[in-house]
Amino acid sequence: MSDQIRITLPDGSVREYPNGVTSLEIALSISEGLARNVLAAKVNGTVQDATRPITTDAAVTLLTWNDTEGKATFWHSSAHLLAEALEELYPGIQFGIGPPIEKGFYYDVDLNGQHFSQEDFKKVEDKMLELARQKQEFIRQPISKAEAVAYFEKKGDPYKLDLLERLEDGTISFYTQGNFTDLCRGPHIPHTGFIKAVKLMNVAGAYWRGDEKNKMLTRVYAVTFPKQKELDDYLHLLEEAKKRDHRKLGKELELFAFSEKVGAGLPLWLPKGTMLRERLENFLRKAQVRAGYQQVVTPHIGSKQLYVTSGHWEKYGEDSFKPILTPEAGEEFLLKPMNCPHHCEIYKTKPRSYRDLPLRLAEFGTVYRYEQSGELHGLTRVRGFTQDDAHIFCRPDQVKEEFIKVIDLVLYVFKSLGFDDYSAQISLRDPENRQKYIGSDELWEKAESAIIEASAERGLRTVTELGEAAFYGPKLDFMVRDALGRKWQLGTIQVDYNLPERFELEYTGSDNQKYRPVMIHRAPFGSMERFIAILIENSGGNFPLWLSPDQIAVLPISEKYEDYSNEVFLTLQESDIRGYVDHRDEKIGRKIRDSELNKVPFMLILGEKEQAEGLVSVRRKGEGDIGSMTIAEFVAFFQNEIKPVAKAV
């Protein structure tokens, strides 16, 4: 064994260290400041404890709070700290699992009849901080299965014993900090002293292993930070998120509603919401016409055999609504879960030549999927939703060019709607579980290469995720960060060699031979429902002027000016300016306040002077009075305020 090993750092530099050096020691050799902030390290692609010895040449990335893996390690360690605090406060408690999640962590516990509620949060937080200040080290200990079983049998922890049943010798380790020992693979932060701010967020029920046949455990959600200010900022963002909740604003702005009689997860679009939705659809329709798409319409149901052919029945049949039986024996239909099989059948309506390709078919198609009632959430998780779906049928030599054009369309949509902070996720197959997918390795490799090359050519900032591909092909998912810093998946583009094979799609090549086209699936919005929910929350209901359901409110000071108000409103309608006249018998101050609450961009105040001189007194929401104008001047001013990209909508 060599006394020295070579460590390659992210900047490409190579340093030599003694065999057995830790990542923390490597950080210290670079700077004391860096060492104080290192939480874990990625060694040859695997995240591990910063205190774990490295015994071979390795590529090392030092992870801090600014890295996703660093945060995950911090929150994983915080889950162990939560468990230690709970064990001290609730003797006899038993533990399930305690993973990090996107924001914070949770631990599933069996309280064995002891009471725990939000009233107990403060004492648990105080105990966690007390333990954190002790700077307890996280100590890893590889252990045999027999020893691990003996430990948890003595402790009386059946959930850990259940977990151990599926583990094998040589893969098991314990982590200990202070008086608490847990079954865990790690990694963990060096010690608990990094944890400076703690907040328990919620408590809920969770069946062990997610199986309702098992015992209901108590799931304690929490979040921690290395600085109190970061926790304060996070809690402030949560308060802002509550104000922006699309379910709350959707009701206040009269955009959409739900009805128990109609059914859970089936939104009803009210007039103002319908207007907003139609403006978005028209915006994309015009962009698609310019890009060479042809609009189609397909039924809301399809024969079950259609989805058997496509593979959707095999993969998603259990998650769909049950088949619809007709009086005809053996005849079964499904509520449409996907638009793509229908579009394949449109392709087959006549012979296609290589000269006909690419063929771009677009549809705002409503689809239906049976989401569990507990997973429904406003517009972001529904049972009936409309996709801005399109399918491009092209020759293999056209795939990359078409893919790039779709990337450009997605970015155009984002820019027009103010989504400037985005990244792209290349979603590939899980190499360890290929039975999840249909199609040959050769076709998958072609599809994956096309996505990777097109993304690189467009200079997209990308991450690659294994196992996130659709069952029929890899995809490029666009992740958008909203005004509150939350990440959402919106647009998606997928390359598919498999459905053309399953539907036996063909075109005649220049050599008069038959070939299979390649299929590109794309949806810049994703689903109209989910996109609008995110748009509501990102804007706080303050939509771009061109999208606002009510762009102006005409506010007569009294009933004496109603005729003039109606005349002004009709003139504005002729210029495609939308809104209403507030004829209520209310004081003008109340009318202005209500218009502000309804997030109407412009208010036109009409009184004696305005009527006499043919003027409108203009107020902008949030700014106040911006002066008097003639109607023609206001129309010109208004049109100038609308972004050029939306003027044609």
Domains of the chain: 4-64 (3.10.20.30), 69-239 (3.30.980.10), 256-539 (3.30.930.10), 550-642 (3.40.50.800)
Q: What are the pLDDT digits (tens) for 163-191? A: 999 899 889 999 999 999 999 999 999 99
Residue 391 catalytic?
Answer: yes
Q: What are the pLDDT digits (tens) for 48-101? A: 999 999 999 999 999 999 999 999 999 999 999 999 999 999 999 999 999 999
521 is in an annotated binding site: yes
Residue 489 catalytic?
Answer: no
Which residues, listed in sequence order, are joined to residue 424 by a DSSP beta bridge? Answer: 462, 478
184 is in an annotated binding site: no
Q: What are the pLDDT digits (tens) for 191-207? A: 999 999 999 999 999 99
391 is in an annotated binding site: yes
Query: For residues 445-458, b (16+ Cβ closer than 10 Å) or e, as one string?
Result: ebbbebbbebbeee
Q: Which pairs count as long-range contacts for 639-647, CB under 8 Å and 24+ apart, including other chains? A: 639/575, 641/545, 642/545, 642/546, 643/416, 643/544, 643/545, 643/546, 645/415, 645/416, 646/283, 646/416, 646/544, 646/545, 646/546, 646/547, 647/546
Q: What are the pLDDT digits (tens) for 107-161? A: 999 999 899 999 999 999 999 999 999 999 999 999 999 999 999 999 999 999 9
Rg (CA), the chain: 30
DSSP assignment of 241-272 equals HHHH-HHHHHHHTT-EE--TTT-TT--EE-HH
Q: What percent of the chain has pLDDT over 70?
A: 98
Give the contacts of 36 (CB within 8 A, at least 6 positions apart). Answer: none
Helix locations, 497-561, DSSP H: 498-502, 528-539
Q: What are the pLDDT digits (tens) for 236-287? A: 988 988 899 999 999 999 999 999 999 999 999 999 999 999 999 999 999 9
Which whole number is the average pLDDT over 429-441?
78
Which whole number is the average pLDDT over 328-333?
87
In this structure, are residues 79 and 107 in contact, taking their beta carbons and an 8 Å threshold? yes
Q: What are the pLDDT digits (tens) for 8-53? A: 999 889 999 999 999 999 999 999 999 999 999 999 989 999 999 9
Which whole number is the average pLDDT over 445-454?
86
- Distances in Å between the alpha carbon of 618 and those of 579, 612, 633? 14, 16, 11
Going by C-alpha positions, the residue among 524, 521, 528 that lies closest to residue 360 is 521
pLDDT exceeds 90 at position 647: no
Q: What are the pLDDT digits (tens) for 349-378? A: 999 999 999 999 999 999 998 888 878 899
- The whole-angstrom separation of Cα 6 and Cα 205 is 49
pLDDT exceeds 80 at position 522: yes
**Choosing from 71, 219, 340, 425, which is the catalytic residue?**
340
In this structure, are residues 378 and 247 in contact, taking their beta carbons and an 8 Å threshold? yes
Q: What are the pLDDT digits (tens) for 205-222? A: 999 988 888 999 999 999
Residue 377 catalytic?
Answer: no
- The whole-angstrom separation of Cα 477 and Cα 574 is 41
- The whole-angstrom separation of Cα 247 and Cα 230 is 27
- The whole-angstrom separation of Cα 17 and Cα 139 is 23
Which whole number is the average pLDDT over 583-607?
94
In this structure, are residues 231 and 222 in contact, taking their beta carbons and an 8 Å threshold? no
- The whole-angstrom separation of Cα 83 and Cα 432 is 33
Going by pLDDT thresholds of 50, 70 and 90, the confidence category of residue 648 is: very low
Going by C-alpha positions, the residue among 184, 65, 180 that lies closest to residue 134 is 180
pLDDT exceeds 60 at position 646: no
**Residue 329: predicted pLDDT:** 85
What's the N-to-C CA distance of the chain in angstroms? 71
Residue 94 catalytic?
Answer: no
**Choosing from 369, 383, 530, 619, which is the catalytic residue?**
369
**Choosing from 199, 246, 279, 521, which is the catalytic residue?**
521
- The whole-angstrom separation of Cα 270 and Cα 549 is 11
Q: How many CB atoms lie within 10 A of CB 102?
A: 10
**Choosing from 391, 522, 591, 619, which is the catalytic residue?**
391
Residue 521 catalytic?
Answer: yes
**Choosing from 48, 288, 387, 494, which is the catalytic residue?**
387
**Residue 642: predicted pLDDT:** 84
Token pair belonging to 544: 């771009």
- Distances in Å between the alpha carbon of 10 and those of 13, 15, 70, 113? 7, 12, 16, 51
Which whole number is the average pLDDT over 489-506?
89
- pTM metric for this prediction: 0.78
